[in-house]
């Protein structure tokens, strides 16, 4: 909600598509949960679980 108006104004100023910058904001806001500081639950399990910061970036396939 905070970044969407900034992205729309930036798109208008730079001549970019508003939809593309809106999508960037949406993807960035959902990707923030991939770090240990992005959500309090991630921070709570980091210490007892023995996780390091890099462990949150690993993607199993």
Mean pLDDT, the chain cut into blocks of 10 residues (61 residues total): 90 93 89 81 88 80 66
Task: Identify the pLDDT of residue 40.
Answer: 87
Counting the structural domains of the chain, the total is 1
Kindly provide the b/e burial profile for residues 21-33, where b requires at least 16 CB atoms within 10 angstroms of the residue's own CB: beeebeeeeeeee
pTM above 0.75? no
Which residues constitute the domain of residue 31? 3-57
- Give the three-class secondary structure for 6: helix
């Amino acid at each position: 909600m905070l970044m969407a108006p900034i992205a729309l104004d930036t798109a208008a100023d730079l001549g970019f598509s508003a939809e593309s910058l809106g999508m960037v904001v949406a993807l960035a806001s959902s990707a923030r949960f991939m770090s240990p500081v992005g959500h309090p639950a991630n921070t709570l399990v980091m210490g007892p679980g023995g996780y390091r910061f890099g462990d949150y970036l690993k993607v199993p396939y």
